[in-house]
Structure 1
């Protein structure tokens, strides 16, 4: 029998500051706060320490750290990845990277033939999206795209297509096919990272800690304040 794995999962790609500790594929502790504004810099390390305490574990008990790699908020991803890499360096632990949209897809229970499209709100009418089948394997790669009437039309059939996440509201207004099902309430969470992280741990799918960077998908655009006259 393979040895069990205690994994710290960190999700900071959106406003949800989320930390979980899992034993193999099962969650032991989940700490998260989906505030209206980003609170990761204040809350992330507090949540990590509180989660370990609630699980009666210490940093030395961890076998790996899993991070939600993006796409998502530039600042949120930087904070999460920096924390994860710091822990991996100091504790000599492997780093596991999980696509943010993949863990979102796992929040939807799918019947055979159904699809789920996690969408995160980007600027204007743009979303970050990916398409997953009922086995939660990628059907179409992650893209940054502007939503219009033809978006995802190649993937609509007689089965339901779930469009979930913060970008679902944009999609609801333009996607007219009756088989689209929209749910804006789905947010990336460290809860769904556990099973994915354990599979990667068993397969030895680890990142190079020194060179790993978040998956931004788009270049960061600094919004400059307008000068007052």
Structure 2
């Protein structure tokens, strides 16, 4: 059936991840991931073509594209955003943008026993002692909005005083080194952003018709991107 699918792209991390959901019932039809550094620009389009072919579909079957909105890798987000905008423009379909941190929290919450017992703190490495982080309840309600945090032993101390927090993502290990015995904190290893979670939240946005302007959409980089001019030889 034409225009019955949601394609999701997650390129905010070194993992190039895509997923395909059926709009009618939210069923996951397929997913594909490539864990190669700096592979997004050369492999993303190929992964999309292969996933559509392997599930017996074509690009014209897409009803919308969901893209991981950031924060994360500037280059990765730019590539994912450009690919999503290109597909939406060519097929005349809507674009939905999903918070990278919220999708990561959703990914963990849906796989956690007694999810309501925790607050979820995804942390993405932003180099040195800095991370991009946010805080969510199991139902996705935002407790603290996404922000760059400089980590020290007192980071999120107020929140841990009254709640049990679950930390995960590429920046969580840096915080665990500062709070190794925090009674109210637990840490998960190996949790990386996935297009499956982007798609799950993207379906909700699609059904609410919370679309982006395809012409003017820019990822949520969270911090300004600084570039330098090469020194003259």
Whether contact under 8 Å (1:113, 1:133) holds in the other structure is no
Question: What's the TM-score, normalizing by structure 1?
Answer: 0.92
- Counterpart for residue 20 of structure 2: 21
In structure 2, C-alpha distance between the alignment counterparts of 1:53 and 1:150, rounded to whole Å = 50
SS in 2 for 1:20: strand
- Aligned to 2:136, which of 127, 132, 135? 132
Whether contact under 8 Å (2:94, 2:211) holds in the other structure is yes
Matched residue count: 225
Task: State the Cα distance separating 1:226 from its structure 2 match.
Answer: 8.2
1:223 to 1:181, Cα distance in 2 relative to 1, 3 A:
farther
Deviations, residues 179-212 of structure 1 (Å, cap 9, x unaligned)? 2111231111101122211111111010011111
1:157 to 1:200, Cα distance in 2 relative to 1, 3 A:
same
Counting only pairs closer than 5 Å after superposition, residues 193-208 of structure 1 correspond to structure 2 as 193-208=198-213
SS in 1 for 2:115: coil
CA RMSD, aligned part only?
A: 2.0
SS in 1 for 2:196: coil
Matched, 1:219 2:218: no
- Counterpart for residue 7 of structure 2: 8
Matched, 1:149 2:150: no
SS in 2 for 1:51: helix
Between structures 1 and 2, the one with greater helix share: 2
Whether contact under 8 Å (1:26, 1:194) holds in the other structure is no
List runs of 5+ in structure 1 lacking aligned partners: none
In structure 2, C-alpha distance between the alignment counterparts of 1:218 and 1:121, rounded to whole Å = 13
